């Protein structure tokens, strides 16, 4: 057989060969570094026997697929360590993930001390250097094998496999785990690993099933790579909005108020107010939107008409019982049907369209308790919601306009480089999840696909992520932990106008159904605030800062001039405070730096006499002495243009 290698060279063998043995034939060094093989583009275990001509690429930990094998093997070593130290624990699954691996156990919660003990036990297992052997069993024997080991979760996994499935196991010196592989050849090949954290998880992600304990870890080929990653994690912890936002007194949560119901404190509230005023002015003055203000709840009749009652009721807060109460209400999870009735209040001509309704909407969604985190996923939130009622011939251009607005908003916030574009489609294999016919779905998805292609926006297509009434563009971003959240949504709706009997009068006097675009320009204000905290590590662009200037009088003698400055800055809509504490000026400067204030104005006798200010900034350190009016002009221009100044000097 002829084996073509990655560089185009080839090897010929008269008999079948394991991938590992082919790697060994090429070089001992390659065999030592080998993690898996890529056979005709498919990743295979090193133990796989090749019996015919193929293209073969030996994967090492320098390849993403090879590193994944390292991490998967490390998860099995963790499982063995847990069984050694906590023999009553039941093992479930332990996959490799983007940043490392995890393994779920039915066990008592693990402390940091437990993780440290497990790391030490893993070191022993690795040092023992057991060969990792693969074997298979028939289905019934596999079930009996795991029953005898007292592993009910593994039994369930096997029972869910097809009758004809090949059921494989890996044995590492006596510890055997159900696994499809691939794995390294020996435990001694693990060089650098770390257990990061533990948390609660549900069996198979279902909150109605058993609560498990998940241990997260990571592994690399080299210790230097692991150390660099751990440094990265430390930076992440500093940027985590759930930690930093509380330290900066932007928001808090209180148990007696409830999970997913954050309190925005004065500083956080000021930031959201600035964002909201900007978005509302932007939409109304530059993009032709008109404002509505609609109720926070409605009767169930409205949601039955829209389809939310049938398709989204579990995600809603329902007030009342349909079997007992004459009227049942629900807090709104969206604004669209309310704005439809604003449209229906007046008969419209084709000349009136498009009509662009905008509303700063407070919404309520009954999120699962395990999903909520800080400000990114909450039960009450506010979004820059909008619905465009348009003629069919206007849909494409208006949809492009919504994308342009979203891009402008992200660019202004300095977030454009961090987003990814997704075409979220229906799942034709599960049509009961949606309303409308396949023809309509395919047509509207093709419209969006063509728009994204024409605008040269790189996008991926996600099956099953559409709303129940239409496909959409989701603009996503990753948080500091790598989890992707949807920030902005733009949705093509060709169905709900029929549900609500919406129409306009065309040039022939006939009633015609309009198209509807559901969209946000900024998205959820709470989630955006979380994103901004993590993006800037709390060092926000000046225009967004809740405190833009802090005046620092050198002594009590200069407080009168400091107050004059405060009044002058406040008159120019600059958020300013004065630090009148009886502290040394060096201490005041350090405090202002820690509070991430963009500008500090130090004033003493000379500044008071000359009507100047000594400017220190978060961006360039000491910017020198300037006339007060010059500084005001400078900062007002920076705020007006929403400039994002770069850090120019170590602070």
* Residue 69, Cβ density class (10 Å: 0-12 exposed, 13-18 middle, ≥19 buried): buried
How far apart CA 503 and CA 470 sit, in angstroms, is 19
Identify which of 561, 599, 605, 559 has the alpha carbon closest to the alpha carbon of residue 582. Answer: 559
- Write the pLDDT tens digit of every residue in 192-236: 999 999 999 999 888 789 999 999 999 999 999 999 999 998 888
Q: pLDDT at position 648, please?
A: 57
Q: What is the pTM of this model?
A: 0.80
Complete DSSP assignment for 331-356: E-S-SHHHHHHHHHTS--BGGG--EE
Complete DSSP assignment for 177-237: EE------SBGGG--EEEEEEEEEEEGGG-TTS-EEEEEEEEEESSHHHHHHHHHHHHHHH
Q: pLDDT at position 651, please?
A: 43
Q: pLDDT at position 646, please?
A: 84
With tokens 């993930």, the residue in question is 97
Q: pLDDT at position 170, please?
A: 95
How far apart CA 380 and CA 383 sit, in angstroms, is 10
| Residue ranges of the chain whose pLDDT lies below 50 | 649-651
The two most distant CA atoms of the chain are separated, in Å, by: 96
Phi, psi of 509 (to 5 degrees): 85, 10
Q: pLDDT at position 484, please?
A: 85
Backbone conformation region of residue 144, classed left if phi is above 0, alpha if psi is from -120 to 50, else beta: alpha
Q: pLDDT at position 649, please?
A: 42
How far apart CA 254 and CA 268 sit, in angstroms, is 16
How far apart CA 31 and CA 22 sit, in angstroms, is 8
How far apart CA 451 and CA 332 sit, in angstroms, is 31
Q: Which tokens go with 357?
A: 């309704």
Could you check whether the bond before residue 354 is cis, i.e. omega within 30 degrees of 0?
yes
Q: pLDDT at position 310, please?
A: 86
Which H or E run contains 364?
strand 355-364
* Residue 637, Cβ density class (10 Å: 0-12 exposed, 13-18 middle, ≥19 buried): exposed
């Amino acid at each position: 057989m002829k084996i073509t290698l990655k560089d185009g060279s080839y090897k010929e063998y008269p008999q079948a060969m394991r991938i590992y043995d082919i790697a060994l034939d090429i070089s001992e060094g390659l065999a030592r570094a080998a993690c898996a093989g890529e056979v005709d583009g498919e990743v295979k275990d090193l133990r796989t026997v090749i019996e015919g001509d193929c293209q073969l690429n030996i994967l090492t930990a320098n390849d993403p697929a090879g590193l994944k094998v390292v991490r998967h093997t490390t998860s099995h070593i963790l499982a063995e360590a847990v069984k050694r130290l906590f023999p009553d624990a039941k093992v479930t699954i332990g996959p490799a993930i983007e940043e490392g691996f995890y393994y779920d156990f039915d066990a008592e919660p693990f402390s940091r001390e437990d993780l440290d003990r497990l790391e030490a036990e893993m070191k022993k297992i690795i040092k023992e250097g057991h060969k990792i052997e693969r074997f298979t069993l028939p289905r019934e024997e596999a079930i009996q094998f795991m029953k005898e080991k007292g592993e009910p979760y593994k039994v369930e996994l096997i029972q869910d496999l097809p009758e004809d499935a090949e059921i494989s196991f890996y044995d590492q010196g006596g510890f055997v785990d159900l696994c499809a592989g691939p794995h390294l050849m020996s435990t001694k090949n693990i060089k650098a690993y770390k257990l990061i954290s533990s948390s609660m998880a549900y069996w198979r992600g279902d909150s109605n099933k058993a609560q498990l304990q998940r241990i997260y870890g990571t592994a690399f080929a080299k210790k230097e790579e692991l150390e660099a990653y751990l440094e990265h994690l430390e930076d992440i912890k500093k940027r985590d909005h759930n930690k930093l936002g509380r330290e900066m007194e932007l928001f808090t949560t209180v148990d007696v108020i409830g999970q997913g119901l954050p309190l925005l404190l004065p500083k956080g509230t000021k930031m959201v107010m600035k964002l909201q005023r900007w978005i509302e002015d932007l939409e109304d003055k530059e993009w032709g939107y008109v404002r509505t203000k609609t109720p926070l709840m409605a009767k169930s009749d409205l949601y039955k008409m829209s389809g939310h009652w049938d398709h989204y009721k579990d995600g809603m807060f329902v007030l009342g019982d349909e079997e007992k109460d004459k009227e049942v209400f629900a807090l709104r999870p969206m604004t669209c049907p309310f704005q439809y009735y604003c449209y229906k209040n007046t008969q419209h001509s084709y000349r009136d369209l498009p009509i662009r309704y905008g509303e700063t909407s407070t919404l309520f969604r009954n999120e699962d308790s395990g999903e909520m985190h800080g400000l990114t996923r909450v039960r009450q939130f506010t979004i820059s919601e909008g619905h465009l009622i348009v003629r069919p011939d206007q849909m494409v251009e208006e949809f492009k306009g919504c994308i342009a607005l979203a891009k402008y908003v992200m660019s202004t916030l300095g977030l454009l480089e961090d987003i990814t574009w997704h075409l979220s489609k229906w799942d034709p294999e599960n049509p009961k999840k949606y309303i409308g016919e396949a023809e309509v779905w395919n047509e509207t998805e093709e419209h969006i696909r063509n728009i994204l292609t024409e605008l040269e926006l790189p996008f991926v297509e996600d099956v099953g992520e559409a709303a129940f009434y239409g496909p959409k563009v989701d603009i996503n971003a990753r948080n500091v932990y790598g989890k992707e959240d949807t920030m902005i949504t733009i949705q093509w709706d060709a169905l709900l106008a029929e549900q609500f009997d919406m129409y306009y009068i065309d040039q022939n006097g006939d009633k015609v159904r309009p198209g509807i675009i559901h969209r946000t320009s900024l998205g959820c204000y709470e989630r955006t605030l979380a994103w901004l905290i993590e993006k800037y590590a709390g060092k926000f662009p000046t225009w967004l800062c809740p405190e833009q200037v802090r005046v620092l009088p050198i002594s009590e003698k200069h407080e009168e001039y400091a107050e004059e400055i405060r009044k002058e800055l406040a008159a120019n809509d600059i958020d300013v405070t004065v630090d009148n504490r009886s502290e040394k000026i060096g201490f005041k400067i350090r405090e202002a730096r820690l509070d991430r204030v963009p500008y500090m104005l130090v004033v003493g006798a000379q500044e008071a006499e000359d009507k100047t200010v000594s400017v220190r900034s978060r961006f360039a350190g000491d910017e020198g002495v300037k006339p007060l009016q010059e500084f005001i002009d400078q900062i007002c221009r920076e705020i007006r243009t929403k400039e994002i100044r770069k850090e120019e000097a170590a602070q």
